[in-house]
Structure 1
Amino acid sequence: MEHLVTKAQQGDGRAFVRLIEMNKQSMYKVARSYFTNDEDIADAIQDTIETCYRSISHLAEAQYFRTWLTRILINKCIDILRKNKREHPVSEFPEYGESSMELNNYEFNELMNSLDEKYRTILLLYYGEGFKISEIAQLLDMEENTVKTRLSRGRSKFRELWTVQETVHQN
């Protein structure tokens, strides 16, 4: 991927398109953690792509392209939320629903929706996107210990919700 970033930085449009194609699913999942409305998701992704295209020459280290792209996307999502003056909606991890603790996709998403956004985003970035704690801290502009704490609390809260859900289904 670093080779594509270097080519894109030199003005190769096809390399840039390839980079976006490689990251489009990840971008969708991150935007989906902020919005349920497809138009807002599309706007955030489009704004991110435009900003990245204009600014890729300023990216100092090609190896951090994905982190840089995700940080821009998160900022765009926050901008749209501020502009629309609404709360962070739900997050979904579609590909994890069926395998997560024997919950179906709908049940998994409902449990994730019950979590506070600050936990959902970190859980998405860590488990859904495979970012390291240090990268999440950089992306969200917070201390690593804060990320670790929220990750731990998010897992605990999810387990609590799952236990309640399981009890409801058994009765």
Structure 2
Amino acid sequence: MSITQWAAEARKGDDEAFAKLAGSCQERLYRIAYAYLKNEADALEAVQETVCRAYTKIRKLKQPEYFLTWITRILLNYCADEAKRRSRSFRPLAEYDAGVWDATADPDLAAAIEGLDEKYRRIVVLMYFEGFTLTEIARILELPDGTVKTRLHKALGELRRHLGEGEWNHA
């Protein structure tokens, strides 16, 4: 079965399908939570709380094909609330040890990303570290596609200005 099929079954009350769904995205959720909350225990708690919230609200999932987007949004909201509550700063990307790009390979780029405003950094992390598309990011952050594109463009512009026009260029 696919994630979409599991989500459809979970919406109907199939606990086994929900368990498969949760297991299929647990690692990705953990990486995102760890990037925000900066330690293993907090990230594990965030994933656990996210899965619990998703389980209790699975019947509200309107489109099963967007389960991953939906649960990621729940996680991001939880992490944002926790970060505010604990007054913690965003974890330096140079310490980020999983994902598409190895931030330790270029400390200058990691520092530049760390210096971005949160609304830009969030999009950069979701796109370049987690591999989400612009459309998926827009759904996760509940923003129009155009806003995500604009913020990504501005983020990349800030990174280019900080780093110079050198070889690094993802746009």
* Partner AA of 1:94 in structure 2: A
Q: CA deviation at 1:73?
A: 0.5
Match of 2:91, SS state, is coil
Aligned match of 1:44: 46
> Which of 25, 28, 33 does residue 26 from structure 1 map onto?
28
TM-score (norm 2): 0.77
Please give the per-residue CA displacement for 1:114-169, whole angstroms capped at 9, x wherever unaligned.
Answer: 33322221012223333332332232233333211221122233344445999xxx
Q: CA deviation at 1:106?
A: 5.8
CA change 1:95–1:59 in 2 (3 A) is: closer
Q: CA deviation at 1:107?
A: 6.1
**Which residues of structure 2 form unaligned runs of 5+?**
none
Distance 1:15 1:105 in 2: 41
> Which of 96, 99, 122 does residue 95 from structure 1 map onto?
99
CA change 1:28–1:157 in 2 (3 A) is: farther
Please give the per-residue CA displacement for 1:90-124, whole angstroms capped at 9, x wherever unaligned.
Answer: 343633344x7xx6276654443333322221012
Distance 1:139 1:97 in 2: 21
TM-score (norm 1): 0.77
* Partner AA of 1:151 in structure 2: L
> Once superposed, what is the RMSD of the aligned Cα atoms?
2.8
State the identity %.
33
Q: CA deviation at 1:77?
A: 0.6
Distance 2:107 2:59 in 1: 42
Contact 1:33 1:120 in 2 (8 A): no
Aligned match of 2:113: 112
**Which residues of structure 1 form unaligned runs of 5+?**
167-171
CA change 1:84–1:10 in 2 (3 A) is: same
The more displaced of 66-75 and 16-25 is: 16-25
Contact 1:35 1:90 in 2 (8 A): no
Contact 1:133 1:148 in 2 (8 A): yes
Please give the per-residue CA displacement for 1:7-29, whole angstroms capped at 9, x wherever unaligned.
Answer: 22233322222212211222123
Please give the per-residue CA displacement for 1:9-68, whole angstroms capped at 9, x wherever unaligned.
Answer: 233322222212211222123213322122221221111010011111221211110111
